[in-house]
Amino acid sequence: MRSNLAPLLLVLLLAGCGGAAAPSAVTSPPAQRFSGLEVADPPKAPSFALHDAAGNRVALSPQRGRLVLVTFLYTHCPDVCPLIAEHLNQALRALGRDRRDVRVLAISVDPKRDSAAAVRAYARTHRLLPQFRYLIGRERQLAPVWKAYHVAVNPGDLDSVDHTAYTVLIDARGRERVIYDSKVRPRDVVHDVRRLLAEADA
């Protein structure tokens, strides 16, 4: 099933996000339940375990029971990444008390420059909430996660890293349910998160 998602994700590049047509694995039915692109027959999200800037190990599997937004960023990005981070952080703020059941896990695509110090500075600059975790590591640690999530990473010049820019919303059972492109909007995330929270409580 994950291979069916690859055509969508590989075209959600920084230079052209948002204009892609959804493949058969992603549906936008007339009575659309989600603001993002709903994944048909949602697969289990690939597991991973990385570290945050404080050296704490953060794994996906222990998040079971929570909703998790997984995205891919780098701290020196001049345009798209800061917007994604800001919008996901705004969504967490808008969720209020519901954010205790939600996590954002941002995975670095720039292992050379995304140091612990750079990530701490980034978190301060963007006032990232505690539920927003920025995960880093060496390329040999990060590359398997990129591959598992169909993220293409192409280091560019000194100021940029071209990479697939998308966010996936994982439900409380660990399944990929909704995909957002680089234009992810806080209100869409809030809508979809609350829908999945209600689904889990039903």
In a 3-state reduction of DSSP, which class is residue 137? coil
Closest to 135 (Cα-Cα) out of 59, 66, 202: 59
The per-residue pLDDT for range 100-147, each reduced to its tens digit, is: 999 999 999 999 999 999 999 999 999 999 999 999 999 999 999 999
Please tell me the distance from the alpha carbon of residue 199 to that of residue 137, in angstroms, as a whole number.
Answer: 34
Q: pLDDT value at position 31?
A: 58
Average pLDDT over residues 150-172: 85
Query: In the chain, what are the domains?
Result: 2-201 (3.40.30.10)
DSSP result, 140-174: HHHHHHHHHTT--EEE-STT-EEEB--EEEE-TTS
The CA angle 92-94-100, to the nearest 5 degrees, is 45
The per-residue pLDDT for range 75-91, each reduced to its tens digit, is: 999 889 999 999 999 99
Q: pLDDT value at position 78?
A: 87
Is the separation of the CB atoms in 34 and 189 below 8 Å? no
Token representation of residue 127: 């006032």
Q: What are phi and psi of 166, to 5 degrees?
A: -155, 170
Compute how many other C-beta atoms are within 10 angstroms of the C-beta atom of residue 81: 24
Q: pLDDT value at position 18?
A: 32
